[in-house]
Amino acid sequence: MIIFIRSLIFNILFYFWTFIISFFSFPVFFLNRKYDVMVWFAWIKITNKILKRVINLNYEVKGLNNINSKKVIYACQHQSAWDTIIIPYLIGDCVIFHKRSLLFIPLFGWHLYKLGMIIITRNKGTNNLKKIINKAKKEVNKNRPILIFPHGTRTLPNSKNKIQSGIVILYKYLNINVVPIKLDSGKFWGKNKFLKYPGKITVNFMKPIKPGLNPGNFRKKLEKIL
């Protein structure tokens, strides 16, 4: 029962906080992008504090020595909404791939647009793929790391899943290191689950996969790690 009550309180505070910061930071949309980044990270910090105080959910990070470059692709396991909230805070101002539909969420979507994330529009063919690659190259040249969830959807802890082709294409055309990120967030905040459980999430930045592998070998190596 206590888990349910704590989860309910967290949800109320989380959505209230998200609305408040999105609403009152709306004028920032018309200013320099760096102010939107400040708002983004403020949202993450307070959300993490709510998680700690209400749910008693913390995290630890391993492999920090593998975070040593801005020109890198982070290929992260995706088990929970937690991943999309906290991982960007750990790696800094990054580029995240997201669905086009998120842009149409009032206030929240506008901030996503201003932050310069990469929009994924499915079934748009080769021209859209070229735009995505060019956009990714442009952002990497600005020293913004790429964050992608290669499985394409949230998965269950300890499950084996095939990675999507997107990460393979980025690896080929960007020609930069790929750092796999392993985590176990799904044990505490599962996919489409209301209940959040106390504990400590482990985030592990693995050794980078250097450019030069052929697509098939890269896919096998990344799938084995993740």
For residue 155, is it within any domain?
Answer: yes
For residue 6, is it within any domain?
Answer: no
Contact status, residue 44 vs residue 84, Cβ threshold 8 Å: no
Contact status, residue 186 vs residue 157, Cβ threshold 8 Å: yes
Percent of residues, the chain, with pLDDT higher than 70: 96
For residue 41, is it within any domain?
Answer: no
For residue 188, is it within any domain?
Answer: yes
For residue 207, is it within any domain?
Answer: yes
CATH number of domain containing 72: 3.40.1130.10
**How far is Cα 74 from Cα 94, in angstroms, rounded to an integer?**
10
> Considering only 45-54, 117-126, 210-219, which range has the smallest mean pLDDT?
117-126
Number of neighbours of residue 145 by Cβ within 10 angstroms: 22
SS3 121: coil
Residue 111 exposure: Cα atoms within 13 Å on the Cβ side: 23
Q: State the pLDDT at residue 122.
A: 62
The model's confidence at residue 89, banded by pLDDT at 50, 70 and 90, is very high
Number of domains in the chain: 1
Q: State the pLDDT at residue 13.
A: 97
User: Does the pLDDT at position 197 exceed 80?
Assistant: yes
User: Does the pLDDT at position 190 exceed 60?
Assistant: yes
For residue 169, is it within any domain?
Answer: yes
Q: State the pLDDT at residue 187.
A: 96
User: Does the pLDDT at position 194 exceed 70?
Assistant: yes
**How far is Cα 172 from Cα 74, in angstroms, rounded to an integer?**
14
Q: State the pLDDT at residue 41.
A: 94
The model's confidence at residue 15, banded by pLDDT at 50, 70 and 90, is very high
Range of the domain at 69: 58-225
Q: What is the pTM of this model?
A: 0.91
User: Does the pLDDT at position 125 exceed 60?
Assistant: no
Two tokens at 107? 């206030």
The model's confidence at residue 106, banded by pLDDT at 50, 70 and 90, is confident
Contact status, residue 147 vs residue 95, Cβ threshold 8 Å: yes
User: Does the pLDDT at position 207 exceed 90?
Assistant: yes
**How far is Cα 48 from Cα 33, in angstroms, rounded to an integer?**
23
Indicate the residue type of 39.
V
The model's confidence at residue 27, banded by pLDDT at 50, 70 and 90, is confident
For residue 181, is it within any domain?
Answer: yes
For residue 208, is it within any domain?
Answer: yes
* Per-residue pLDDT tens over the stretch 29-48: 888 888 889 999 999 999 99
The highest-confidence range among 16-30, 52-66, 99-113, by mean pLDDT, is 52-66
